[in-house]
Structure 1
Amino acid sequence: MLKEQLRANPANAPLLDVANQAIDTLLAGRRVDTASLPPPLVPLFRPEIQGFLISEIAVDPADLIAKAGKSVLVIQGERDLQVSVSDARRLVAANPSAMIKQLPDTNHILKQVTSDDRRANYATYADPNLPLAPDVVETVVRFIEQHGQ
């Protein structure tokens, strides 16, 4: 998924080969030497988070949701720049009791975004004063009420 996220932004094109090599190194369970990375990639692969990245990359979310043993709610923002609708559907397919709710004009952090402007979308990440997108809270409440979890 990290490779897809980087590839989705055209500005990353010059960095993709090096970024993909770094991701492959982490996939192999090895740390990346950040001294050899272009400066824009250093924050993404900084040494203090590499252990976390190695452990997270090894986890398949579809496997986790399949083993959940409980009903699961997948909320998918239709303006999510990090996780696609097809990714959300893959999660739901892995667990027959899972429920998906796609929310229009909603991004990855469940804030409202009404345009295709990537910068405006990412700007919502840094604004804690923005409320959650419409229907987020109601969707969670309905799910809890229906499934008694």
Structure 2
Amino acid sequence: MIRRRALLAAGALAPGAAWAQARPQKSLTESGWYARGKTKERTFRFAGTGGVTLAGTLLMPLFSEIQYVPGIVLVAGSGPTDRDGNNPLAPERIDLLKDIALLLARNGIASLRYDKRGIGQSTPRPRGSLEEQEAFFAWGNFVGDVEAAHTELLRHDEIKPYATALLGHSEGGLLALAASKALVAKKLHALVLAATPGRKLEDILRAQIGRDAPPSLRLPTDRAIAAILETGRVPTNLPRELELLFPPYAGPFLKSLLSFDPAAVLAESRTPCLVLQGAADRQVVPMADVQPLIDALRSRDVSGEAVVIPQVSHNLKTVSGPTDPGFGGPLSPVVAETLLKWLVPALGA
């Protein structure tokens, strides 16, 4: 069943709590872990899909040294977004996933976050032929990397194998949703879709271009989408403004992404799910882009909840007004409270 809550705008402006405190200094222990107050952290590399190596960070509650803890894989959003949730194209540091990891660790839940392939300290993008780059960035490889991260999480003895979850932000939510189908056999216990679209990206992209871009880009966008869906290749001679949206090597990836139907996949999923959405999101627009996920939750007989929080941005930060994009600052206290209230009992933390 699904329970949808409408939160008062004043709630999004509540004072920060423990998760907004200044982070303590780290100190290296003999085991290779870094102590961080009541948490400990370790960075390492692990095998992704198709011979790729992924760089990850495991953040654990300190008491995991004496008892098992639940664990969750955090999946970053689109573009060159790293394991901490930062994107060099953004005007400020975001640190979304880093802040979520710290929030969870301080409340008894371990997390593994990682640099996606081609990003940060993971295996870089190949410099060979277009075909080689297309294969490297295939949608199935990104989904497989989420599964590999979950396998790596379970490899650590401190993690309860019967209490694991995936949390994906934005496009990362789509990857987590796709990966959750393959992880049913491993008894994935929870799924969190944060600022994740519920419509096909094909429809969202057309709407965004129609709403925010100059009219001159509408026809080239339609042409690019149609060509990608038909051939799996990005057409040449696109306007420069569209190159970031449609890089030449991303044809096969975009073909799968544009046609992926998140609401249909969620409706068939048997995994308990939290849909977490900011009402001030300018990229995944409430309620048009979110309602299909809510409808999918309602169609299931599996536990789930959808929460839309006023004055919260795409990056789950409190916004000060209609012109504030909500990149920087701490995680919204209402987001933090909502996430813990749902996830802690779901994983038995």
TM-score (norm 1): 0.82
Does residue 141 (structure 1) correspond to residue 343 (structure 2)? The answer is no
1:21 and 2:227 aligned: no
**Structure 1 residue 12, shift from structure 2 partner:** 2.8
User: Which residue of structure 2 aligns with residue 72 of structure 1?
Assistant: 273
- Runs (4+) of structure 1 exceeding 3 A deviation are none
Alignment check: 8 A CA contact 2:228 2:235 kept: no
Cα drift, residue 114 of structure 1: 2.5
Per-residue deviation, 1:39: 0.9
Aligned pairs, number: 140
Higher RCO (CA-CA < 8 Å; seq separation 6+): 2
2:210 matches 1:7: yes
Identity %: 32
Q: Residue 60 of structure 1: which of 256, 261, 266 is its match?
A: 261
TM-score by length of 2: 0.38
1:132 to 312, 328, 331: 331
2:300 is the counterpart of 1:94: no
Q: 1:106 aligns with which of 312, 323, 331?
A: 312
What is the CA deviation profile of residues 44-66 of structure 1, one whole-angstrom value per residue up to 9, with x for unaligned ones? 11113232211111210101211
Structure 2: distance between partners of 1:95 and 1:28: 31
CA contact (8 A) 1:19 1:41 kept: yes
Higher helix proportion = 1
Q: Is the Cα–Cα contact under 8 Å of residues 88 and 100 in structure 1 kept in the other structure? A: no
Gaps of 5+ in 1: none
Instruction: Tell me, yes or no, if the aligned pair for 2:228 and 2:255 is still in contact at 8 Å.
Output: yes
Question: Whole-Å Cα distance in 1 between the matches of residues 312 and 207 of structure 2?
Answer: 20
Q: Which has the larger radius of gyration?
A: 2
Which segments of 5 or more consecutive residues in structure 2 lack a partner in the other structure? 1-203
The residue number in structure 1 matching 2:234 is 32
**Structure 2 residue identity aligned to 1:5:** Q
